[in-house]
Amino acid sequence: MAMNVGGDSGEERGVMATINTTPLVDVMLVLLIIFLITIPVITKTVPVKLPHANNIPTRTKPGTIVIAVDRHGNIYWNDHEVASSRVLLQKIEQAAIQVPQPDVHIRGDRNADYKFIGHVLYELQRGGMVKIDFISIPSASEMAASSQ
């Protein structure tokens, strides 16, 4: 700590105009240490076991419907382009009444806007389809784990 002590001359100086920040820094360091010690004690969460995400290989059945959406928003039903939303809904409604209902696999281009994929999901919901899957490429770590 710094302290201003008068000289031997005995005369009194004026008021010191600078602020001594040393005690402020000491107090702040003590508060920081207290917070670092108490935060882990205060933070408690409910203990749960979180699931692991696994990419399951796709098994395409003969009746599976593959709907692809390219980056421009064009929709393809089993590799054939669909002309309009009305035609898409008609195809979905025809497929939804089949017993058992076929699975639908959606393949969306990674550069496609979400609104195009969302539109397909909306039409599938309107048409009554229940079994919908998204097709993706597995990550590099999943590929390495599956090859071992």
Number of DSSP helices (H) and strands (E) in the chain, helices first: 4, 5
> Does the reported pTM lie above 0.85?
no
- Vertex 102 angle, CA 85 and 142, to 5°: 95
User: What is the pLDDT, as a whole number, of residue 17?
Assistant: 76
Q: What angle separates helix 114-127 from helix 85-96, to the nearest 10 degrees?
A: 40
User: What is the pLDDT, as a whole number, of residue 18?
Assistant: 82
Domains in the chain (CATH in brackets) are 65-147 (3.30.420.270)
Q: Which mean pLDDT values do the consecutive 10-residue runs of the chain (148 residues) have? A: 56 74 91 86 62 62 86 91 94 93 91 92 94 79 58
User: What is the pLDDT, as a whole number, of residue 35?
Assistant: 86
User: What is the pLDDT, as a whole number, of residue 22?
Assistant: 87
What is the chain's alpha carbon radius of gyration, rounded to the nearest angstrom?
34
Tokens found for residue 97: 């009444």
